[in-house]
Amino acid sequence: MTVRSRADPTLLVVDDAEDNRYTLSQRLLRDGYTNVLTAADGRQALALLRDRPVDLVLLDVMMPEMNGYEVLERLKAVPQLRHIPVIMVSAIDQLDAVIRCIELGAEDYLQKPFNPVLLRARIGAALERKLAHDQMAEWGKVLELRVAEQVAQLERLGLLKRFFSPQLAELILAGGAEDPLKTHRREITVVFVDLRGFTAFAATSEPEEVMGVLREYHAEMGKLVLEYEGTLERFTGDGMMIFFNDPVPVPNPAEPAVRMALAMRDRALQLSVAWRKDGCDLGFGSGIAQGYATLGAIGFEGRWDYGAIGTVTNLAGRLCAEAGDGEILVSSRVASAVEVLVEAKQVGLLTLKGLPKPVPAFNIVGLKAAT
């Protein structure tokens, strides 16, 4: 006969009568169960159950010292053992005995002398249920482990997002062939934004007022950085530096950069209305440039930032410094990349600090109609 439970189940026969133990054990061996243990009393049975993995117990009811009811009750009280199916095998032919065994957690009840065919069927069914229980428990452990791993990953992602952009944080956790934090060179579009009049406001206002304005400003600008999938390099008081095309490649990085700057200008204008009611006159300015930069992790063990270094960052920063309230000044390269998207006005040549010669600049007025 083919045993349909696990490959080699272990069965335990518990009976104080030696001839009964022998008869039942031999029956099980003939039915194909090769791992059959025996116990002469309840205490021995419980000791075996604690020391050896058992898949099914065949338990007599009437035994000295500790009867089958007591064994069943104690077995089901142990969390590690309560899932083991127990079939009561007894000469007692009373309904009350059957009911009591089932109430105490027995899987089934067979009378002595037992019918071999019925015994085989009851054991097979009990082992099938045991196997299903074990599989569900194993799946539960696997699922629990996976959930724990996902929770840990989400916690790590949340921690990384405190220091890096969401895209970079996800890349760090995902791993892969290329380390996104490794120093590398790439063409990027850099956006600088800050508030006009902030220095004067900070010098004449209470620190709590300044922090309140900054929190509101950073929160709204931060939402737009995430919406347009930019990489926030740093905050510097009222200033922010964002770049596009790294670590996540973007087909035309100038386009989302300009769209984001326009959205930031609109949102800053809305914020400034409320700020003016509170007596602070603040405006918005931005500078955008495109070119090659060296990027990667900057910092020390325990605190890392993700930075970009190159002339392109200086150019964007200087353009931002030159921008008036509501202006978005861009380099000629950026203007050329978005000329079909926006209305732009040529500002002319600007002499910018730190740059060897004047550079042409354009002011982005807004998006073209139906764009």
Confidence label for 2 from pLDDT (cuts 50, 70 and 90): very low
Domains of the chain: 10-139 (3.40.50.2300), 181-367 (3.30.70.1230)
pLDDT, tens digit, 9 for 90 and up, residues 209-238? 999 999 999 999 999 998 998 888 877 788
* 162 has pLDDT over 70: no
Confidence label for 317 from pLDDT (cuts 50, 70 and 90): very high
Residues in the chain: 371
pLDDT, tens digit, 9 for 90 and up, residues 30-67? 888 989 999 999 899 999 998 888 999 999 988 888 88
Give the mean model confidence (pLDDT) for residues 311-329: 95
Residue 345's H or E segment, with its range, is strand 342-350
SS3 28: helix
Give the mean model confidence (pLDDT) for residues 160-177: 59
Give the mean model confidence (pLDDT) for residues 237-242: 90
Give the mean model confidence (pLDDT) for residues 336-365: 93
For every residue of 182-235, DSSP letters joined together read: S-EEEEEEEEEEEEETHHHHHHHS-HHHHHHHHHHHHHHHHHHHHHTT-EEEEE
Give the mean model confidence (pLDDT) for residues 245-260: 91
Confidence label for 1 from pLDDT (cuts 50, 70 and 90): very low
**Residue scoring higher pLDDT (253 or 129):** 253
Q: Which two tokens stand for residue 149?
A: 């791993």
Write down the pLDDT at residue 261: 97
Query: Phi and psi dihedrals of 52, rounded to 5?
Result: -125, 145
Q: Is the overall model pTM greater than 0.85, yes or no?
A: no
Whole-angstrom distance, CA of residue 48 vs CA of residue 39:
8
Q: With pLDDT > 70 as the criterion, what percentage of the chain qualifies? A: 87
Write down the pLDDT at residue 249: 84
Q: With pLDDT > 90 as the criterion, what percentage of the chain qualifies? A: 41
* 176 has pLDDT over 60: no
Write down the pLDDT at residue 233: 80
DSSP state of 178: S
**Residue scoring higher pLDDT (128 or 286):** 286
**Residue scoring higher pLDDT (165 or 260):** 260
pLDDT, tens digit, 9 for 90 and up, residues 77-118? 888 888 899 998 888 888 888 888 888 888 888 888 878 888
Which segments within 50-118 are labelled E, that is strand? 56-59, 86-90, 108-111
Q: Which two tokens stand for residue 300?
A: 């020390």
Write down the pLDDT at residue 349: 94
Q: Give the closest residue to 38 by CA, choosing from 9, 65, 13.
A: 13
Write down the pLDDT at residue 5: 42
Whole-angstrom distance, CA of residue 257 vs CA of residue 245:
10
Spatial contact of 362 and 338, defined as CB atoms under 8 Å apart: no
Whole-angstrom distance, CA of residue 329 vs CA of residue 288:
6
| Neighbouring residues of 123: CB distance < 8 A, sequence distance ≥ 6 | 11, 28, 31, 33, 56, 58, 87
